[in-house]
Amino acid sequence: MKKIAIKVDASLFPDALRAYLNGARCHDSSCSEAVRTIFIDGPVRAYLKINKQGSLVREMKMIRFMHHHGLAPGVLEYVSENGLDYLLTVALAGEDGIWEGHLSSPGRLAGAMGEYLRLIHNLPVAGCPYTGRSIEMYTQSRHNINRGYADRQIIPEDLALAAKKLDSLRGLAQDNVVIHGDYCLPNIIMRDFELSGFVDLGTGGVGDRHYDLFWGIWTLRYNLKTDTYRDTFLDAYGRMDIDNDRMELCRLLAGFTE
């Protein structure tokens, strides 16, 4: 993940965060315009996410749930004030899945992705703070269909036909596992393929496993520029739980949500 050195005035941040920022080296590590991410390299190495007020509470709760099971960083602080949310988490040791050292061994990377996704899906759903993700995604999809939105990289076909197919498949969803919700290579942190944990969990919850499986296939294709390692990923995950119709449903849900 990128890191651009920046100067940060700790006095401009909430009181609870200043001790982490004072005297620390800071880097901009943002991956989108909507969410600002600062890497704090001080006595405590951490990542600070900043977004509009109320927008990071879901991620905070999912991180705490996953951290309890040893699969996510610890939450150091969550502050919501003056129109902004601040989420400070421990920086996991290692590099993300798009680090050159990981991408240079694509077969090993795809296998690790399958094995580590199974760890998430094997978690107990009891205690997960968000449930019914497929219903939520379908509701969001119908809203976006009505306003003419779709991700054309995921849904290149006629949108009316895709919407009709979504409606016909929606009843197949099985929300019976904890899902990451954005299972892409940048959100998997490893040390030479040994898992440190998962990040960016704001769209996770109890959902259909095929949603994560779809994104796993998609991120390998996008980052490796080939579908060669699709089967390696699915074999490592386990073919016995894969259903093609539910995979298609989840492709449509992914394409019609933002």
User: Which residues, at least 6 apart from 236, have a Cβ–Cβ distance to it below 8 Å?
Assistant: 110, 111, 112, 113, 114, 115, 118
What is the token pair recorded at 78? 């969550």
Backbone angles phi, psi at 79, to 5 degrees: -130, 135
Note the Cα 144 to chain centre separation in Å: 21
Burial class (CB in 10 A: 0-12, 13-18, 19+), 257: buried
Q: Annotated catalytic residue: which of 96, 182, 200, 208?
A: 182
Strand pairing category for 194-198 and 205-207: unpaired
Rounded CA gap, 173 and 252, in Å? 12
Q: Is 158 a catalytic residue?
A: no
What is the token pair recorded at 108? 């090993």
Q: Which helix (H) or strand (E) holds 146?
A: helix 133-146
Strand order in the sheet with 188-191: 95-96, 188-191, 194-198
Instruction: Find, among 108, 114, 109, the residue nearest to 237 by Cα.
Output: 114
Question: Residue 156, Cβ neighbours under 10 Å: how many?
Answer: 11
Question: Residue 109, Cβ neighbours under 10 Å: how many?
Answer: 26
Annotated active-site positions, please? 182
